[in-house]
Amino acid sequence: MRRVPAIAISLLLFTAFSGPWHTVAAQGSSDLAGGWIVTSWTEPDGTVNEQPQRGLFLFTATGQYSMMYVPGNEPRPRYEGENQTEAETLAAYGSFIANSGRYTVDGSNVMYEAYLAKDPNYMADWNTDEPGNGQNVTFSITDGILTLEFIDGYNAGRKTTLRRPSQPAG
């Protein structure tokens, strides 16, 4: 029963990345391209979480991205039995952020737009011709560590550091 959402999400991502819009703004950064695992979050007030929950950001060289992460310090709640209650489902899915779409790079600025998102309101502002739900981050890569600073949107004022999955935690 739990396979159905994973299959549906996979099909939606395939559809999103195979649509005609992907050639409109297929400008990625070869340094940014690939997978990145979240290693820390810094809040706007300077509080640092060096033991974050899981997060994975993917950037393709042709301008598509996907980011999924669990915000905060607490692990996602697990289901207790074979059949989840409505409260268990809400707690599990409410503790997870996911969106995918296209991105462009201009110097050290990345603007990403969600074609598909767990949040239907965010996804609803998608526009094929011009940015409709664009979010801006600045990025830097130093010694293999990616730092993203969110300029606007849900994470405005937050910073995250990420490393390659093959790179040792450090």
Distance CA(15)–CA(55), nearest Å, equals 23
Q: Domains in the chain, please, with CATH? A: 24-163 (2.40.128.280)
Q: Of 72-81, 131-140, 156-165, which gets the smallest average pLDDT?
A: 72-81
> CA neighbours within 13 Å on the CB side: how many for 63?
18
Q: What is the mean pLDDT of residues 101-107?
A: 93
pLDDT at site 6: 45
What sign for the dihedral angle of Cα 59, 27, 6, 137? Answer: positive
Does the pLDDT of residue 2 top 60, yes or no?
no
Does the pLDDT of residue 63 top 50, yes or no?
yes
pLDDT at site 131: 67
Distance CA(47)–CA(66), nearest Å, equals 26
Per the listing, tokens 């640092």 go with 48
Model confidence band, residue 29 (pLDDT cutoffs 50, 70, 90):
low
Mean of the per-residue pLDDT values for the chain? 82
What sign for the dihedral angle of Cα 102, 105, 106, 110? Answer: positive
